[in-house]
């Protein structure tokens, strides 16, 4: 029997995947906020209108909720982002199948059989294009991650992380700018970096 209080035993820094697998509703909210812009990007890539994208995105999150146990069964052999992308593409195909009479040019019979959108199909991309696509997706996720973390740490900690990680500045110069000690700058960078890795790492890959 599952215990309703079980999700509360996980610290905030625990993997969001682990937390949603155990029914942590706060983690679900964070995952939805993290991935919603990426899901919309995928829909945009397949020429889905905004209103229709809203419905598809909702269908995707319903499917994730239903099948997250399957993802658990595979453990670290499956990365969450590609798994979610597969679900999204299937939902987009389902959408076009339902609307085939109104959108006859968007789905060919052969693509229908393969259950894949014909617009910007990944199989048609070169290795270099695939790498660019993956990096674009990760950048979308990192922007959302940064927004979440920024709202949860103090201003100096966040600024120290940004200046040393993205700005490439050394801890001494950052300490002088922020009125911190170099040791505290390094600690701030380490704490934020660890939190991103522990909480979001397996959601990005």
Convert the pLDDT of each residue in 93-125 to its tens digit. 888 888 775 555 554 544 444 444 444 456 667
Cβ 40 vs Cβ 57: under 8 Å: yes
Neighbour-count burial for 96-127, b at 16+ CB within 10 Å, e otherwise:
beeeeeeeeebbeeebeeeebbbeeeeeeeee
- What's the CA gap between 152 and 164, in Å, rounded? 19
In a domain, 40, yes or no: yes
* pLDDT value at residue 167: 93
Q: Say how many domains are in the chain.
A: 1
Question: How much is the pLDDT for 103?
Answer: 56
Q: How many CA atoms lie within 13 A of 102 on its CB side?
A: 5
Q: Is residue 174 part of a domain?
A: no
Identify the pLDDT of residue 164: 96
Phi-psi region of 167 (alpha: psi -120 to 50; beta: other; left: phi over 0): alpha
Report if residue 164 sits inside a domain: no
Do residues 76 and 108 touch, judged by C-beta distance below 8 A? no
- Going by C-alpha positions, the residue among 21, 19, 26, 22 that lies closest to residue 3 is 22
Q: List the single range of 61-65, 93-97, 103-107, 189-193 with lowest mean pLDDT.
A: 103-107
Range with lowest mean pLDDT among 9-18, 35-44, 48-57, 151-160: 9-18
- Within a domain: residue 152? no
Per-residue pLDDT, 46? 87
Q: What is the pLDDT of residue 127?
A: 81
Identify whether 22 is part of a domain.
yes
CB 93 within 8 A of CB 45: no
Quick one: average pLDDT of 4-23?
61
> Is 107 part of a structural domain of the chain?
yes
76 pLDDT above the threshold of 80: no
Residue range of the domain that includes 84: 6-126
| DSSP alpha helix (H) spans, the chain | 16-21, 25-45, 50-74, 80-98, 109-114, 127-150, 155-165, 171-178, 182-204
Residue 67 domain flag: yes
Q: Do the beta carbons of residue 157 and residue 83 sit within 8 Å?
A: no
Average pLDDT along the chain: 81
Query: Rounded distance, CA 119 to CA 139, Å?
Result: 22
Predicted confidence (pLDDT) per residue in 138-171, tens digit? 999 999 999 999 999 999 999 999 999 999 999 9
CATH number at 57 reads 1.10.1740.10
Q: Is residue 205 part of a domain?
A: no
């Amino acid at each position: 029997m599952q215990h309703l209080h079980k999700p509360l035993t996980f610290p905030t820094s625990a993997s969001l995947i682990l937390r949603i697998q155990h029914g942590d509703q706060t983690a679900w909210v964070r995952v939805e906020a993290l991935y919603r812009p990426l899901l919309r990007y995928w829909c945009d890539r397949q020429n889905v209108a905004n209103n229709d994208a809203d419905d598809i995105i909702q269908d995707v999150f319903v499917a994730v909720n239903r099948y997250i146990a399957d993802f658990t069964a595979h453990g670290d052999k499956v990365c969450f982002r590609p798994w979610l992308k597969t679900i999204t593409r299937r939902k987009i195909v389902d959408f076009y199948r339902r609307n085939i009479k109104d959108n006859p040019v968007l789905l060919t019979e052969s693509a229908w059989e393969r259950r894949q959108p014909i617009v910007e199909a990944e199989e048609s991309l070169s290795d270099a294009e695939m790498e660019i696509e993956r990096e674009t997706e990760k950048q979308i996720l990192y922007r959302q991650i940064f927004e979440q973390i920024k709202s949860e740490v103090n201003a100096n900690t966040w600024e120290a992380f940004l200046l040393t990680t993205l700005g490439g500045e050394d801890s001494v110069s950052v300490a002088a700018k922020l009125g911190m000690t170099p040791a505290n700058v390094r600690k701030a960078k380490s704490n934020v970096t660890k939190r991103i890795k522990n909480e979001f790492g397996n959601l990005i890959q």
